């Protein structure tokens, strides 16, 4: 008697999921909507395993976090393999299936059928506890940085409406002194009333660096405008509130950075990663967060390079051959880790600088070729270091000797 093989596709949602199970012949064996609840999900898993009669079941899902996190945890805890198929792939694939309508049941069917036919889908790994913590922390830091950028843009846009001279006087992204100033003084009249000396003393009491220069710059901007624009009072109050908001975000970002660095240094690969020139705690924690902390799941450095978008794929057509391009599906955060570290290493590491200069001498461009080639080379080195459990050792490049 042949052992049945089943594919279970799940269209994940916030409150509920829809699961469709297909047999080897592509026919539905089960279609069910279940609440995103532990009891209901465990019942679904038990029913599908009973349906398989001891045969293998391959699960596939269109989310790898968020509302699908509980189901993924339950499946992995029960020893089930879970494949990830991105929602955009499900959307594109749906066009080749019967019917123009969209429903959760149809999406779940497409997910299961794609898992049945394709062999290039990535299995989901939960990762170690440190990697999961770092993914949460780095995601939070990304949100905080985005909120900070939006707040600064709003602050500058509001200030531009009534006090353009002060808006262009400081770089509010980097100047904490300017933000401190705006918490109390936001209008030309207020700055003229307090004057340079008293403003400098006020800033000094708040431990502002270069307080005299900041005071002089702000008062000079106020002297350049004596006209009060309509709505100035309300706009100034909003600017003060936004300045305090940015300062609060700066404090939370600093606290998050401390948590990230502390958690990163607890990882067994931390010292190896930090030994690589150009890889500090910030890029290192992103590397751990987006690889799950276990490189063995990628099987080879080439596979990791493919996931990071550093392994080009052919783009040939007709008589045209030899063209290469970046793959369409890759982890942009991993690409950023190796790209940014290569940018730093090309300036600070003699070995990396020699490699980069050789690629430029071969006619390769800075960004498109030389840095990308260096990033790929560094990925291979980091892979080997983690595999062998040893730190990077800087060896000066050998200069060829010319015999006369």
pLDDT at 247 over 80: yes
The predicted-structure confidence for 92-129, as pLDDT tens digits, reads as follows 888 888 776 678 899 999 999 999 998 878 788 766 78
Please tell me the predicted confidence (pLDDT) of residue 321: 62
Among the residues of 184-231, which ranges form H helices? Answer: 188-205, 211-223
For residue 159, how many other CB atoms are within 10 A of its CB? 24
Question: CA 73 → CA 41, 77, 85, 109, 197, distances in Å?
Answer: 11, 6, 17, 22, 62
Q: Rounded to whole angstroms, how far apart are CA atoms 89 and 368?
A: 27
* Exposed / middle / buried, residue 92 (Cβ in 10 Å: 0-12, 13-18, 19+): exposed
Give 401 or 398, the one with higher predicted confidence. 398
% pLDDT > 70, the chain: 90
How far is CA 114 from each of CA 103, 281, 330, rounded to the nearest angstrom? 17, 39, 19
Angle at CA of residue 138, ends 137 and 141, nearest 5°:
90
Per-residue pLDDT tens over the stretch 156-196:
999 999 999 999 999 999 999 999 999 999 999 999 999 99
Q: How far is CA 270 from the centre of its chain?
A: 19
Question: How far apart, in whole angstroms, are the C-alpha atoms of residue 230 and residue 25?
Answer: 72
Specify the pLDDT at position 397.
Answer: 47
pLDDT at 316: 56
The pLDDT value given to residue 363: 77
* Torsion of the alpha carbons at 192, 196, 197 and 199, rounded to the nearest 10: 80
d(CA 387, CA 295): 8
What is the rounded average pLDDT of the residues 327-356?
A: 86
Residue-level pLDDT at 54: 83
Residue-by-residue DSSP string for 21-87: EE-TTS-EEEEEEEESSHHHHHHHHHHHHHHHTTS-EEEEES-SSGGGHHHHHHHHHTT-EEEE--H
396 pLDDT above the threshold of 60: no
Radius of gyration in angstroms for the set of CA atoms belonging to the chain, rounded to a whole number: 28
Q: Is the pTM of this model over 0.95?
A: no
pLDDT at 358: 86
Mean pLDDT of the chain: 88
Q: Supply 339's token pair.
A: 């790209």
pLDDT digits (tens, 9 = 90+) for 11-69: 999 999 999 999 988 899 999 999 999 999 999 999 999 998 888 899 999 988 888 98
Q: Of the ranges 27-31, 56-60, 264-268, 300-304, which one carries the lowest mean pLDDT score?
A: 300-304
3-state SS assignment for residue 207: coil
Which DSSP category does 14 fall into? S
């Amino acid at each position: 008697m042949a052992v049945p093989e089943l594919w279970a596709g799940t269209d994940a949602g916030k409150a509920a999921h829809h699961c469709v199970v297909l047999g080897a012949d592509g026919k539905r064996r089960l279609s069910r909507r279940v609440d995103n609840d532990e009891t209901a999900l465990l019942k679904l898993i038990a029913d599908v395993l009973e349906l398989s009669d001891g045969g293998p079941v391959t699960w596939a899902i269109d989310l790898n976090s968020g509302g699908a996190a509980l189901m993924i945890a339950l499946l992995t805890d029960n020893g089930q393999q879970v494949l990830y198929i991105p929602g955009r792939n499900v959307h594109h694939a749906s066009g080749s299936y019967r019917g123009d309508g969209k429903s959760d049941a149809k999406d779940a069917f497409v997910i299961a059928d794609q898992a049945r036919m394709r062999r290039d889908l990535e299995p989901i790994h939960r990762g170690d506890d440190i990697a999961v913590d770092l993914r949460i922390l780095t995601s939070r830091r990304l949100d905080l940085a985005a909120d900070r950028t939006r707040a600064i843009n709003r602050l500058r846009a509001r200030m531009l409406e009534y006090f353009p001279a002060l808006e262009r006087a400081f770089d509010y992204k980097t100047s904490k002194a300017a933000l401190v100033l705006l918490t109390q003084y936001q209008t030309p009249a207020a700055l003229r009333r307090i004057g340079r000396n008293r403003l400098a003393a006020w800033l000094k009491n708040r431990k502002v660096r270069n307080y005299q220069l900041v005071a002089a710059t702000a008062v000079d901007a106020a002297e350049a405008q004596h006209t009060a624009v309509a709505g100035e009072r309300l706009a100034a109050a909003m600017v003060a509130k936004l300045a305090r908001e940015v300062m609060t975000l700066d404090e939370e970002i600093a606290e998050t950075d401390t948590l990230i660095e502390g958690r990163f240094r607890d990882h067994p690969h931390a010292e190896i990663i930090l030994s690589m020139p150009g890889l500090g705690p910030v890029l290192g924690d992103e590397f751990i967060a987006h690889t799950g902390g276990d490189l063995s799941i990628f099987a080879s450095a080439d596979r990791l390079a493919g996931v990071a978008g550093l392994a080009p794929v052919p783009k040939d057509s007709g008589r045209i051959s030899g063209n290469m391009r970046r793959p369409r599906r890759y982890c942009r955060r991993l690409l950023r880790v190796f790209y940014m570290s290569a940018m730093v290493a090309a300036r600070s590491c003699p070995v990396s600088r020699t490699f980069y200069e050789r690629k430029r001498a071969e006619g390769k461009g800075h960004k498109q070729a030389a840095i990308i080639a260096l990033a790929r080379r560094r990925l291979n080195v980091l892979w080997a270091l983690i595999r062998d459990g040893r730190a990077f050792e800087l060896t000066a490049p050998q200069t060829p000797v010319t015999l006369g």
